[in-house]
Structure 1
Amino acid sequence: MHVQPNTHHLPEPLATAIQDCGFFPAIVQDSIAMALAGEPVVAHLVHHEPTFVGDEVHRHLSVMVITPTRLLVGHTDESSDNPTGKVQAITSTESIALGRINSVNMTRVVADPASANGTLVETWLTIGWGTMNRIELEPAHCADPNCEADHGLSGSLVADDLTVRMSPAADGAESVAALITFGGALQLAAAGVAR
């Protein structure tokens, strides 16, 4: 059985961004087009993230698309874990209603922040919609610096469904700028602010 191409077309900037990654572009474009189902694209972000494990490279591509009603998150990985030994593409898309997004956090790390020439080192976009949470625990302390009692643990529950991390050194300044632009657009969309 052959995969039939989707009849929906992606906007040229999104299609080009996927094509430029060179990672199964036809399959990725088709997967995103099916999930869009003709809905217009407000903003998009494409992030190609190779991971090195020993002497092997594992490639992963994330495509995030904001529509007027949803956030689409597409993930594509490659796998050779099949009986034939041939490489396979594993692609999935998740559709999240904008009203379900409860957290959009942009974090920037800046070197030499006191100078006028502070340098952006890396940027993280963390998005939460209630599917996954992370618990961060640490030993609890009291105000007495001489106290040696065990005060248990304190912590926080953090929404962490998706984190995208980019740096100018690894991804290029243009990719980091695209991440910041996309994060701002998602913050507005999740708050119900029309662009």
Structure 2
Amino acid sequence: MVSRTPQAAALPSSLHDDITAAGYYPALVADVVAAAVAGEDVVAHLVHQETTLDQESVRRHITVLALTPGRLVIAHADDHAPDPTSSIHATSVATASTECVPLSAVRGVMLTHVVAEPDSYRPGSLGRELTLTLGWGTVSRVDLVPATCGDPQCEADHGFEGTVTGDDISLRVSADAEGEHVLARAHDFAAALSAAIGRPGQ
């Protein structure tokens, strides 16, 4: 049982319990989320823990989405090897970041339902896997590359071309991997956020 710090005590017990159940530095994650929520009521939340493998190590990540009456709070934490050039000497390092997005800036909520054996789909079940994609407009990234005319021999300057990409986040939730209660929480969170951004004045 992870004790609740004064900061984390402001979070709903259900959110704190989900952070604890995820098992990824729960005291740190709860404090970071609580600091970003800043005392507002949490209307709905989703906690998503993921483990990824690369050639050298196993890395864990956690993303916490918290919906307040006026904001979408996004917290993400992961661990990585310490920077050998850093003055901080540690065997491991975790980085936790938060972003608070006004609901008026949330552009959309996209749900992708994956349904196995659709011929035998049971009405109301919505499948056992969901990908939740959220888009918002706080920051846009511009990717520029030199423009070309298609002639490999051409040496003229054709300027630049590029794309502008807005911020978004995509979370995949599977009942078989995370449990049916996590999938249900994802559906509930998506419904609450969709309703919130659709209200007049948001």
Structure-2-length-normalised TM-score? 0.75
Q: Distance in 1 between matches of 2:7 and 2:128?
A: 39
Q: Distance in 2 between matches of 1:193 and 1:186?
A: 14
Give the equivalent residue in structure 2 for 1:100: 105
The list of structure 1 runs, each at least 4 consecutive aligned residues, that deviate by more than 3 angstroms after superposition, is 4-8, 116-119, 131-134, 157-160
**Unaligned segments of structure 1, at least 5 residues:** 135-156
Q: Structure 1 residues 124-133 or 106-115, which shifts more?
A: 124-133
Give the equivalent residue in structure 1 for 2:148: none
Same amino acid, percent of matched pairs: 38
Contact 1:133 1:161 in 2 (8 A): no
Give the equivalent residue in structure 1 for 2:189: 182
Aligned residue for 1:90, secondary structure, equals strand
Tell me which of 168, 180, 197 is aligned to 1:161: 168
RMSD value over aligned CA atoms? 2.8
Shift in alpha-carbon separation, 1:193–1:12, aligned structure 2, 3 A: farther
CA deviation map 1:36-55 (0-9, x unaligned): 11100000000001101136
Counterpart AA for 2:131? W
Shift in alpha-carbon separation, 1:56–1:160, aligned structure 2, 3 A: same
Structure-1-length-normalised TM-score? 0.77
Q: Structure 1 residues 160-169 or 14-23, which shifts more?
A: 160-169
Contact 2:7 2:31 in 1 (8 A): yes
The answer to whether residue 120 in structure 2 is matched with residue 115 in structure 1 is yes
Pairing 1:39-188 to 2, within 5 Å after superposition: 39-54=40-55, 56-83=57-84, 84-117=89-122, 120-130=127-137, 131-132=139-140, 161-188=168-195
